[in-house]
Structure 1
Amino acid sequence: MHIAFEAKRAFNNFTGLGNYSRFVISALKEQYPKEQYSLFTPQVSTRDEAAHFLKENKEITVLPSGLWKAGALKSAWRSKRIGKLAEREDVDVFHGLSNELPSGLKNRSKKIVTIHDLIFLRYPDFYPFIDRRIYKKKFKSACKKADEIIAISEQTKKDIIEFFDIDSSKIHVVYQGVHPIYKQELKTRRLLYLLDQYSLHQPYFLYVGSIEDRKNAKDLVQAFKLVLDQVNHDLLLLIVGKRTDYQKEVEKEINDLRLDQNVRIYNNIPFTELPYLYKGAVASVYPSSFEGFGIPVLESLSVGTSVVTGNQSAMKEAGGKYALYANPKNHEELASQMVKLADDNAFNEQLLVGVEGHLVQFSAEKIAGDLMGIYKAP
């Protein structure tokens, strides 16, 4: 079977969509090495991770040639040319990994698209009007054009049905997995070194994610103030993520609540250090109001650290019975869940008993198997 991917994100994005794309491609190649694969991308980033991924996949990567290599034409190559090239290569399956399918794909190829979330429709106020309009047109077109749709959660499946009126029978939930870096053995010496480097000499909670309104970092700060009022020992809160305009509101809240000594924001933590920061935490906290999925929840559980997260369904799919949930806008409720993990080590440990079985459904083997089953189904 010849399987082609629209893989722009795999070579040019180094957060959610890129991590997903690289994970899927690598998992399928590892589990099903006898199949034929092609990766279509208009360009390759100069970042080391992209160079490494290209080195692993150089023989199967298809880039623009001739005039299509010109800057303005690369985008047109992605949307207009890839489909024709895939047909010329006689691919059996074409999988758009990031919400889109190119034009030009004929009925010969089975067309599959992964839809990650429809947050721009669920929470339109967080997105500019023009972005919402473009996203809706592209995503809806891909769903209508696709023979099968991969939704990364039951929540996303429900949203596809609600917003695009798509028949549920062609939507399949296949979860995401975490980056392999969260499956590595974490060395105690390295952990202690990093804790010392960041002056983490007291217990801390960790937030990892975009610092944006929907993910409620300011509400987390307010809840953390209540936590400090209820515990008898010193605690820190680390907020780790890319700087945004919303961060100014979070910083003001920290200042207004006089939490400068207890809350720290880091914008440039190296990716390789994140598993260690998760591992060293009392617990992680991911109080997002809405997600297509909840990767930070899985990251925390994968290194054996408890997590408190929002009570929306996608986070519950990621955390199962091994996480604590709260309404992020209810600061007392969020603080109460955090206090449980800060004050009761036995409860904290008991919460994670059996989590390995839960994590199996997010493994490379399970995800690759589910996808291959969809590819090969009549």
Structure 2
Amino acid sequence: MKLGFDAKRAYHNTTGLGNYSRDLLKILAAFYPDNSYVLYNPKPKKVDRLSDYKNLIEKLPDSFLNKKFSSFWRQGAIVNQLKQDKIDLYHGLSGEIPRNIKKEGIPSVVTIHDLIFVRYPELYSFFDRKIHYNKFKYAAQNADKVIAISEQTKNDIVEFLDIDASKIEVIYQGCHSVFKEIATSSEIEKVKSKFNLPEKFILNVGTIEERKNLLSIVKSIKNLDVHLVVVGRKTKYYDRVLEYVKSNQLTNRVHFLEGVDLKELSVLYQSAEIFVYPSIFEGFGIPIIEALYSKTPVITSRGGVFPEAGGSDSYYVDPSNIDEFTNAIDVLLKDETKRNDMIEKGHKFVQKFNDEVIANAIMKLYKTVLNEK
């Protein structure tokens, strides 16, 4: 098969949608090497993490005008290039497909990660909400199949986009293979030394924004004897968190790290006593998966998508209840036996997100779409 992909995020985003795109492309290339995977990139790449795979072929816009107006190319004019390249099926990896792709008879699949802009409109501008909604609605209506990355997202697509549930397939995300590698003691010491970290700490990973709810963790450790390490891109919400840290004399116990590469991040997961993820809402929650693969016990939010990612043996609390968070952290820090039990069961649970499972599910869906044509 010759498969086409929207590769904007794969070549330009270092987190989130970029990671999803790259990880999926890599596992398809590895487990189904006889296919050709054509990656349509609107602009010269900023991120180069796919060059090791010879069957991943990058394609840029094919004319001066398409290069100059690359966003319009990606939304519509790309279809002519797909036809010229004789693409069997096109996969929009981030909630979008080109206009007229259905009219031109090219089978398509789209992945929708979440509809947070509908659930929490206050986090987005009016115009961003309208743009996201129109793109996602069009893609869900016109693609042959929709991939939702969780049951939570599937339910939201049905409710908010009015798409028939039979058109939607839940295929979970995995995570980068680096989180499955066991760090050596020297690697752990090297990372701790580089970032000047204490011997024991709890960890939070994710963009420092209001929805991720970092302030709840900071408040929860105020009266505990524990250090918190935070890895994530800063937004305006960071200023609120920092103000609380400073006003409550927590500067020496809350560590904001920058310049952390993937390998170092994997070492941080393995070094942490607990991973704490108090997000209010997610489409899935990849950091939870990363922690479970790293054999680190997880405390996360009760309800929503989080049990899908964390399984039955993670520790769930009300994300708005500081006392619950404090108690959960305190209990796990004091109970090594419980932590070890959570580690063993969590690592067993997370194997359902292994690369081969995901690759097989994706390829099965592609073949279903093509067989129905």
Asked if Structure 1 and Structure 2 have the same fold, meaning a TM-score greater than 0.5 normalized by the shorter chain, the answer is: yes
2: CA distance, partners of 1:57 / 1:13:
21
Confirm or deny: 8 A CA contact 2:195 2:257 kept in the other structure: no
Equivalent residue runs for 1:253-272 within 5 Å:
253-272=244-263
Inter-CA distance 197–36: structure 2 relative to 1 (3 Å threshold) = closer
Inter-CA distance 92–324: structure 2 relative to 1 (3 Å threshold) = same
Deviation at 1:374, TM superposition (A): 0.7
2: CA distance, partners of 1:127 / 1:57:
39
Of residues 237, 243, 247, the one that matches 1:246 is 237
Confirm or deny: 8 A CA contact 1:208 1:239 kept in the other structure: yes
Which residue of 2 is the match for residue 68 of structure 1?
65
Structure 1 vs Structure 2 CA RMSD: 1.6
Q: Which amino acid aligns with 2:173?
A: Q
Deviation at 1:107, TM superposition (A): 5.6
**How many residues are matched?**
368
Which residue of 2 is the match for residue 24 of structure 1?
24
2: CA distance, partners of 1:354 / 1:328:
23
Which residue of 2 is the match for residue 53 of structure 1?
50
Which residue of 2 is the match for residue 101 of structure 1?
97
Which residue of 2 is the match for residue 335 of structure 1?
326
More helix by share: 1
**Is residue 2:313 matched to residue 1:317?**
no
Of residues 131, 135, 139, the one that matches 1:138 is 135
Cα deviations across residues 95-115 of structure 1 (Å, max 9, x unaligned)?
100100012314632211000
Which residue of 1 is the match for residue 11 of structure 2?
11
Which residue of 2 is the match for residue 161 of structure 1?
158
Q: Which amino acid aligns with 2:40?
A: F
2: CA distance, partners of 1:244 / 1:70:
31
1: CA distance, partners of 2:65 / 2:20:
27
Q: Which moved more, 1:111-120 or 1:32-41?
A: 32-41
2: CA distance, partners of 1:40 / 1:57:
15
Q: Which amino acid aligns with 2:64?
A: L
Of residues 218, 226, 230, the one that matches 1:221 is 218
Cα deviations across residues 259-288 of structure 1 (Å, max 9, x unaligned)?
122112223323331111111111111100
Deviation at 1:52, TM superposition (A): 3.9
Deviation at 1:91, TM superposition (A): 2.1
Which residue of 1 is the match for residue 149 of structure 2?
152
**Is residue 2:177 matched to residue 1:180?**
yes
Inter-CA distance 202–246: structure 2 relative to 1 (3 Å threshold) = same
2: CA distance, partners of 1:252 / 1:163:
37
**Is residue 2:191 matched to residue 1:194?**
yes
**Is residue 2:294 matched to residue 1:298?**
no
Q: Which moved more, 1:91-100 or 1:37-46?
A: 37-46
Which residue of 2 is the match for residue 208 of structure 1?
205
1: CA distance, partners of 2:359 / 2:55:
21
1: CA distance, partners of 2:30 / 2:67:
34
Of residues 77, 92, 100, the one that matches 1:81 is 77
Q: Which amino acid aligns with 1:269?
A: V
Inter-CA distance 110–58: structure 2 relative to 1 (3 Å threshold) = closer
Deviation at 1:186, TM superposition (A): 1.3
2: CA distance, partners of 1:88 / 1:12:
25
Confirm or deny: 8 A CA contact 1:290 1:312 kept in the other structure: no
Unaligned runs of 5+ in 2: none
Deviation at 1:223, TM superposition (A): 1.1
Which residue of 2 is the match for residue 231 of structure 1?
none
SS in 2 for 1:322: coil
> Could you state the TM-score of these two structures normalised by the residue count of structure 2?
0.94
Deviation at 1:246, TM superposition (A): 0.8
2: CA distance, partners of 1:60 / 1:197:
37
Unaligned runs of 5+ in 1: 229-233
SS in 1 for 2:61: coil
Deviation at 1:119, TM superposition (A): 0.2
Cα deviations across residues 130-183 of structure 1 (Å, max 9, x unaligned)?
111100010111001111000000000000001011000010000001112212
Deviation at 1:70, TM superposition (A): 4.0
2: CA distance, partners of 1:51 / 1:194:
24
Cα deviations across residues 347-366 of structure 1 (Å, max 9, x unaligned)?
10011223343222211101
2: CA distance, partners of 1:107 / 1:149:
19
Confirm or deny: 8 A CA contact 1:304 1:352 kept in the other structure: yes
Q: Which moved more, 1:208-217 or 1:332-341?
A: 332-341
1: CA distance, partners of 2:347 / 2:257:
30
SS in 2 for 1:39: strand
Of residues 346, 357, 370, the one that matches 2:348 is 357
Q: Which amino acid aligns with 2:289?
A: L
Confirm or deny: 8 A CA contact 1:114 1:150 kept in the other structure: yes
> Could you state the TM-score of these two structures normalised by the residue count of structure 1?
0.93
Inter-CA distance 76–54: structure 2 relative to 1 (3 Å threshold) = farther
Confirm or deny: 8 A CA contact 1:84 1:104 kept in the other structure: no
Deviation at 1:313, TM superposition (A): 2.4
2: CA distance, partners of 1:161 / 1:52:
34
Confirm or deny: 8 A CA contact 1:153 1:317 kept in the other structure: yes
Q: Which amino acid aligns with 2:87?
A: V
Identity %: 38
